[in-house]
């Protein structure tokens, strides 16, 4: 706003809103002289309103981020405080547990389209008003508001070797499967439980996207004889690009940062370290191994992964949206 400085010169006693959009003298008929004493306080008001929030965000979020990056180049234990260069990062690369954790991140990225497609498809059916759609919406969303700790504790019971799931499998002549004790199975079990617990969140976001969809487009497609699959592919997906993009990014962030509770309760990273994720690795190194500098290096790696993956997805999806 180029007029900002001049307008405040014209009305030095103006209030905090003096520079506001479309402010005209007519809106302050009482004249600003009476408010002259309070003017200074009024001008400072926005900063006073913001001060506590800024203080907390800078001191407890932005500053720690810098502190952590700095910290990751120092040593642990006897070397506490001395600069060690890239030593922590090299150690991470050689640690099979951290490499396993990165491998599991790769697995999550591969499974990401599944975790987005399931709620997307279910939301489509709910939008098309299959019988009982109101009930489904409420029921599916419910696990998403439960703590991962509760979900994990419940599934410890469900997935026990002699628990309900194996009992069901026995009826159809399968299993039993050692869901949480077999290193090849456990990671899929945990991801499965995570998807089960969170797909309702994405579902609700998709439904909000559908609310902004123009229904006449779908009607037109139907009149033209399009099948459901063609409607989804040529009408729904192109019109919901923004929503799909949002769900992709939030689902990935969720997978990388909100599985701690499940891991902590269900597997503790085991069996044989097969269910480690970076966030769990950071927790173990900081809390149990007393290696805060190494943990900081892992934090920095996790931050970079999330940054790159987030930006990559946005650019890919944006390009896809443009082609359509």
Site residues for other proteins, 85-124, by CB under 8 A, read 122
CB of 205 to other proteins, least distance (A): 5
CA 182 to chain centre: 29
Q: Does 296 sit near other proteins (CB under 8 A)? A: yes
Q: Does 75 sit near other proteins (CB under 8 A)? A: no
Q: Where are the alpha helices (DSSP H) in 11-132?
A: 36-57, 63-71, 87-94, 96-127
Applying CB under 8 A, the span of 11-19, 73-81, 93-101, 106-114 interacting with other proteins comes to 11-19
Angle at CA of residue 54, ends 53 and 58, nearest 5°: 120
Q: Does 12 sit near other proteins (CB under 8 A)? A: no
What b/e string do you get for 124-151 counting C-beta neighbours within 10 Å, with b at 16 or more? bebbeeeeeeeebbeebeebbeeebeeb
**Count of residues of this chain found to bind other proteins when the rule CB under 8 A is applied:** 105
CB of 250 to other proteins, least distance (A): 8
Nearer Cβ to other proteins, position 67 or 184? 67
Nearer Cβ to other proteins, position 274 or 296? 296
Q: Does 321 sit near other proteins (CB under 8 A)? A: no
Angle at CA of residue 43, ends 39 and 48, nearest 5°: 125
CB of 303 to other proteins, least distance (A): 4
Angle between helices 183-211 and 96-127 (to 10 degrees): 40
Q: Does 30 sit near other proteins (CB under 8 A)? A: yes
Nearer Cβ to other proteins, position 54 or 220? 54
Pick the binder of other proteins from 89, 136, 272, 313 (CB under 8 A). Answer: 136
Q: Does 11 sit near other proteins (CB under 8 A)? A: no
Pick the binder of other proteins from 12, 27, 37, 233 (CB under 8 A). Answer: 27
C-alpha span between 127 and 119 (Å, rounded): 12
Nearer Cβ to other proteins, position 10 or 184? 10
C-alpha span between 297 and 176 (Å, rounded): 41
Q: Does 21 sit near other proteins (CB under 8 A)? A: yes
Q: 101: closest CA among 297, 313, 251, 314?
A: 297
| Residue numbers 155-214 binding other proteins by CB under 8 A | 155-158, 163-164, 167, 196, 201, 204-205, 207-209, 212
CB of 96 to other proteins, least distance (A): 20
CB of 17 to other proteins, least distance (A): 6
Q: Does 310 sit near other proteins (CB under 8 A)? A: yes
Angle between helices 96-127 and 87-94 (to 10 degrees): 70
DSSP code string of 97-155: HHHHHHHHHHHHHHHHHHHHHHHHHHHHHHHTT-TTHHHHHHHHHGGGGS-HHHHHHHH
Q: Does 150 sit near other proteins (CB under 8 A)? A: yes
């Amino acid at each position: 706003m180029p007029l900002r400085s001049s307008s405040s010169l014209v009305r030095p006693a103006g209030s905090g809103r003096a520079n506001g959009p479309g402010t005209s003298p007519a809106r302050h008929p009482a004249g600003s002289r009476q408010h002259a004493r309070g003017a200074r306080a009024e001008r400072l008001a926005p900063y006073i309103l913001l001060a506590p929030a800024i203080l907390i965000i800078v001191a407890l979020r932005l500053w720690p981020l810098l502190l952590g990056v700095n910290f990751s180049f120092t040593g642990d234990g006897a070397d506490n405080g001395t600069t060690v260069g890239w030593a922590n990062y090299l150690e991470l690369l050689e640690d099979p547990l951290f490499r396993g954790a990165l491998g599991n991140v790769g697995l999550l990225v591969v499974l990401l389209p599944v975790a987005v497609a399931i709620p997307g498809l279910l939301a489509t059916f709910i939008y098309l008003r299959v019988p009982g759609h109101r009930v489904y919406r409420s029921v599916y969303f419910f696990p998403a508001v439960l703590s991962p700790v509760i979900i994990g504790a419940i599934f410890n019971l469900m997935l026990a070797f002699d628990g309900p799931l194996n009992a069901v499998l026995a009826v159809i002549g399968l299993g039993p499967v050692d869901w949480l004790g077999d290193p090849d199975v456990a990671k899929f079990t945990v991801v499965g439980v995570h998807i089960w617990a969170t797909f309702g969140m994405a579902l609700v976001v998709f439904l909000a996207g559908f609310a902004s969809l123009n229904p006449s487009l779908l009607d037109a497609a139907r009149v033209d004889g399009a099948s459901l699959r063609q409607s989804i592919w040529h009408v729904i997906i192109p019109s919901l690009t923004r929503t799909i993009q949002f769900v992709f990014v939030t689902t990935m962030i969720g997978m990388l940062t909100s599985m701690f509770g499940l891991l902590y309760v269900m597997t503790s990273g085991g069996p044989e370290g097969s269910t480690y994720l970076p966030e769990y690795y950071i927790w173990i190194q900081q809390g149990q191994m007393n290696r805060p500098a190494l943990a900081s290096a892992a934090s920095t790696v996790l931050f970079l992964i999330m940054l790159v993956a987030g930006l990559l997805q946005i650019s890919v999806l944006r390009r896809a949206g443009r082609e359509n």
